[in-house]
Structure 1
Amino acid sequence: MSENKTETFEEKMQTLEKIVRQLDEDEVSLEESLKLYQRGVELSSECDKILKNAELKVETLNRKDDEDE
């Protein structure tokens, strides 16, 4: 993953799904599991923020549309 590039919501979700699959495998070491888990928590938080911002935009647009009518 490149830190210079901003990941899209979909890319973050794909990475999160990959992490979940990796954590389901028995072959992952404890140290690697902790790193994956931490990254998963970070991604989950980032996705949550993106969704909340999108919800606010939709609500704002709906309010503006209602005011225009």
Structure 2
Amino acid sequence: MSTPGTPDDAPPTQSYEDAREELADVVRKLEGGGLTLEESLALWERGEELAGVCQHWLDAARERLQRASPQDD
């Protein structure tokens, strides 16, 4: 997931570990309740962004592993 104004193929600036940690925090806050609808929506949207960052890093790692493993002919 890219930020506004960056190409879609540009890597995110946030590391996988940082995004995963922040995503877990977002989930805890949403599960804790007591938020307004607007706060909940904003957290949900941030969670979606963070999930995209995590998915980017996981996809990149999978691709690297596929390139590094021997190819069957």
**TM-score (norm. length: structure 1):** 0.78
Instruction: Give the secondary structure class of the aligned counterpart of 2:33.
Output: coil
Q: 2:20 aligns with which of 13, 21, 26?
A: 13
Residues matched between the structures, number: 60
Question: Structure 1 residue 51 and structure 2 residue 58: aligned?
Answer: yes
Q: 1:26 aligns with which of 20, 33, 43?
A: 33
Question: Structure 1 residue 35 and structure 2 residue 42: aligned?
Answer: yes
> Aligned partners of 1:13 and 1:28: how far apart in 2?
22
Runs of at least 5 residues in structure 1 that lack an aligned partner in the other structure: 1-5
Runs of at least 5 residues in structure 2 that lack an aligned partner in the other structure: 1-12
> Aligned partners of 2:14 and 2:33: how far apart in 1?
28
> Aligned partners of 1:26 and 1:59: how far apart in 2?
42
Query: What letter matches 2:36 in structure 1?
Result: S
Dislocated runs of 4+, deviation >6 Å: none
